Amino acid sequence: MKNNEKSLRQAHEAALKASQTDQLTGLPNRRHILGLLDEALAANENTGSGLCVAVIDIDHLKAINDAHGHKAGDAVLEHFARSCRARVRAQDRLGRTGGEEFLLLLPELRLDPAVHIIERIRGGFPPAVLEHSELELSCTFSAGVTEALPDDDRSSILRRADRALYTAEEEGRNRTKIGSERSL
């Protein structure tokens, strides 16, 4: 009976983890990272200790997929996830929201230090090396970052970060832009 309970508990934990994890990168998936964003917004509302979010998009991933195949694109996504995790603080959370887009939660942080972390990630983002071919793929990313405002919810903070990301892409990519205006 105890073995069955243990097996059921382990199976439940494995299923829960699988439902919250992006299979390719091992990061929280869209549903899970958005839930973590909701929790971080609530915590910031209670403490006022600061929260920044960044929406990050790998530049020109479609061109990499078209030129080198989807395995190369997948390698770039995995490479970005590893590089980013190695350069953020323990309390920061990175999740893959879809395709080549990621969401980075930076709790207990104000805007200037948040931008510094994103630029540290950019500076430590070497080319991805494809297994077996030793082909190096130069990769860059664009980011939109914003700080939580009083009464922000998921939609409002993501809208500001998304607009900042679009500005970064329109201005030539491989840069970080700040989303500071409240949405109307």
- Active-site residue numbers? 100
CA gap 64, 71 in Å, rounded: 10
Q: Sign (positive/negative) of CA torsion 39, 34, 179, 126?
A: positive
C-beta separation of 28 from 21 below 8 A: yes
Q: Measured between alpha carbons, how far is 154 from 113 in angstroms, rounded to an integer?
A: 21
Strands 93-98 and 128-129: unpaired
